[in-house]
């Protein structure tokens, strides 16, 4: 079953897209939890971290390369930012297409709630 993120990938619904290439797309989270809150997702549909296979290594690594490039562009690379992947219910995953949250622009608390 496709998710709302597949509709964003296919441009069937609007999103504030900040980056796109053949493997991934990054857009602003609709319910931002920080001044910078982006979602970086693979175009390949992978439901949860539990569904990642060895074949996906390059895709997953690519998400981190995109994240660090965006962080540099937004000038938060030195001050710092947080990368989060939620997996399933206890972590609060609501969209079952894996997505990397990139959060920054303010001091982030630790541990998270």
List residues with catalytic annotation: 99
Contact pattern from residue 16 through residue 55 relative to ligand 5GP, giving x for each residue in contact according to CB under 6 A and a dash for the rest: -----------xxxxx-------x----------------
Residue pair 61/68 in contact (Cβ under 8 Å)? The answer is no
Please give the Cα distance from 96 to 3 (Å, whole number).
7
Shortest spacing between CB 28 and ligand 5GP, in angstroms: 6
Q: Is 92 in the site for ligand 5GP (CB under 6 A)?
A: yes
Helix extents (H) in 1-113? 4-9, 57-73, 88-91
Q: Contact residues for ligand 5GP (CB under 6 A)?
A: 4, 15, 27-31, 39, 86, 92-95
């Amino acid at each position: 079953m496709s998710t709302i993120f597949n509709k964003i990938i296919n441009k069937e619904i609007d999103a504030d897209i900040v980056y796109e290439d053949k493997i991934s797309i990054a857009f602003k989270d609709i319910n931002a939890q920080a001044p910078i809150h982006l979602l970086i997702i693979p175009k390949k549909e992978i439901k949860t971290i539990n569904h990642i296979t060895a074949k996906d290594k390059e895709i997953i690594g690519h998400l981190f390369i995109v994240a660090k490039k965006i962080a540099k562009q937004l000038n938060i690379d030195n001050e710092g930012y947080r990368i989060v992947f939620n997996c399933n219910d206890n972590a609060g995953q609501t969209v079952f297409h894996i997505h990397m949250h990139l959060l920054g622009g303010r001091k982030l608390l630790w541990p998270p709630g």
